[in-house]
Chains A and B, each alone.
Chain A
C-alpha cells in the first residue's frame, strides 16, 4: 500500500488504536488535516486553544490509561501547546504530540511560523523527534508511542516538516509491529534480593507507614497495592497524585500527606520507623523541611525511574522496577515468610494514629451562614455516590477537592500536581468525558483558574460533552490570598479579581446552562439539577466564603510535625 506522509500519520494513529486526536489546524499541518477529513477511524476534537488540546488529551490519558494524542501547527501552535506538554511531563502522563514544522528546505531561515520546537520542548518532554525523512515517519511515530507509554511515562513530541506530509509523494506503508531502541530498556522486574531485604524490614517494623504516589496509578497497580496493604495491616497515606489507588473510605487510609495533608498522615510520617514508599517522588510539597523528614525511619522505595530514588531523600532499600511487578513479587515473598499481620503487634501504633485522627484536622464550621467550599465538595461526593470523575484547576479548591472527595478508585481524580497549571481543569474534563461518555464528570475550579481556558466551553458544546463545572467562587485567587494572609500580614497584592464576569450569562452565551448558588441550602439542589441534566454542560457559580483557608498547612521550612491547624483545632496537648 502506497501512502503519502499525511496519510501515513493518520494511518499510524489508526493502527495504534487511537480513538481521539485533540488539535487545531494551521498551515504546516494542512496536509494532515486533509487526510483526517477523508477517513472516519480517528476522530478529531477541535479545541479553541492549543493549550486546551494538550490538557484535554492529558485528561483523556489520565482517566483511561491510554496515551493522549495532540496535533498542532508550527510556531504559535507549538508554543501554545508547551504549557500542556510541561504539565503532562511533570506528572508523567503519556502524550504523543504531533507538531507541524516548516518544510525542511527552509528550516533555520526564520521562515513564516517557524520555531525551534525541538529546542523549546526539549526540557519538558520525555523525548522528541524531528522527522527528517519520509521513510522514517511510521517508525518514528511507533517509537513515540512506545517511549511515551513505557517505563516512567511522559509526553513525546514528533515534529513533522510540512514537505514530509506532501500528498503527492507516496511510499509503501507498513506500521512496525514492534520497536527496539537499543538505548532504552526500562526495568520492569525488581531485584529479588532487594525485595527480600525489604520484606525483612517490614517484618520488624513496629511503627510502619506506607506512602504511595502517582506511580501506582500510572502502573495500574491499585489492586496489588490494596492486597499488600490489607495483608500487612499497615496505615497508608498518599500524595495528591496517588489518591484513589487505595480506597479513601477504608480505615487503613489516613488521607493525603504533605503541605495540606492530614494531621494523622503527617504525624505518622514523622514518627514511623519503617517507610514503604511506592511510586512517589519525595516532592518538596510532600516532605516539608528535608532535614526533619521521617527522622527515625528506614526507607524502602519502589520506583521505575532510578533517578527518582535517593534524589532528595536518601533511601535504605531502593527497588527499581515496575510497581505492579514488584508488589506482586513482594506479596509472594511475604506469604512465603512467617509474617502474619496478627503476630506483628502494631496496636500501640494504631492507637497513636487513632488519637491523631480524633483531632478531626479537616473540621470546618458547619453552621456558617456562608457557603463553605469543603461542604460543597462533600455534597458533590454524596450526590455522585463517590463515583464521579473529578478534574480540578489549581488553588484552594484543588486542595479541598483532594481532602473532601473520597476517591475509592484510581484514575478518577485528575489534576495538575507537579506544574500546578491553572486552566487545566476544564479541557481535562472534556478529555475525561470523551473517554467515559456515560460517567459523571465534574470540574472543580475557581473563578481565577477557569478564566485561563474558558474558551473550551465552546468545545464542550460542539462535542456535547456534558460536564459539570463547579466554580468555587471566592472572589480571590484564594491560594495566593491565603499565603499573603499568613506570610505577608494580609497585604493582598493583586490577588483580588475586581471585574469578574457574570459566569451564568457567560455559560449561557456559550450555549450551556448556568446556575448561581448563593445560599448553603441551595447547593445540593443545584448539584442534583446539574447531574440530572445528563448531557448538558452545567456551570455552577457557587459563591463561597471568601475568607476560608486550607488547613492543615505545613508552612515553608517546617517539618511534618509542625502543622498549622485551623483556628479552633488545638493539638497542644498532643504536642506537649
Chain B
C-alpha cells in the first residue's frame, strides 16, 4: 500500500483524535462549578482514607490544618487504571475479559507503539535497534493477543449474559468488533511478514521525514484500521478515560469548602444571578426572577 497515503491517513487520525480529546476535556471542564457531592472514601484524606474518613471528623474542623495526600490519590488511580480494581472487586466475571482488554489491548499497545518509535528515532543515529524492535514485536503480540481474547469475551458476555444483554446496543458490539479487527490484522501482519519490525521502524522514520515506504497489504490494512479507530474514538463513550479524571477528582473527591474561597464564591454568585425557567407552580420561575429571587421569596401562607 502506498506509504504517503498511509501517512496522510495516520496524521489525519492523530490530529482528529488529539482535537477530539482536547474538546472533550474542555467541554467537561467548562461546565459550571457544582454543589458538593463528594463520596467517601476520599483518598487524599491523610490518615483517614483507609477507612473512608474525612476532615469533617475533626472537632471544629475549620481550625485544623487540611492534610492532603496526593500520593494516596495517585496510588488509588494507579490501581484503578492499571488493574481495574473496582471491576475486580465488584464484577469479577467481567474482569477476566475487561482486564486483558484494557491492559493488553490498550496499555500494552501504547507501550509497543512507543517502543517502535524509540527504535525508529534511535535508528536515525545509525545505531542498530533490532533488540528494541524485537521487544516491540514481542509486546505487540502479547498486546494484540490479550486484546483479542478480551474483546471476544466481552462480545460474548454482552450478547449472552442476561444481566448485560438488555443494556447492550449495536454500538457496543461494533466498538468491540472494530477493536478486534485491529488486533487480528496486527497479529496477521506480524506473523505473515517476516521483517515486520524493520518495516514498521522504517515506516515511522518515513513519517518523520515525510517519505514513508510502501507497506505490504495486510500491514497497510492494520494501519488504516487503527487510524480509523482513532478518528471514531472521540465520538464515543470510550473516551471515558477523560471523563474519569473529572468524575473522581472533580466530583467524588472534591470536598473543598466554600468559606474563604473567593474565586468559588464569585463564580457561585454569578450562577445564582441566572434566571431559571422551571414551570412548577411553587417556583413561578418566569425566566426573569433569578435563583436568589426564588430562593428568598416567602411561600404563600
Instruction: Say whether A associates with B.
Output: no
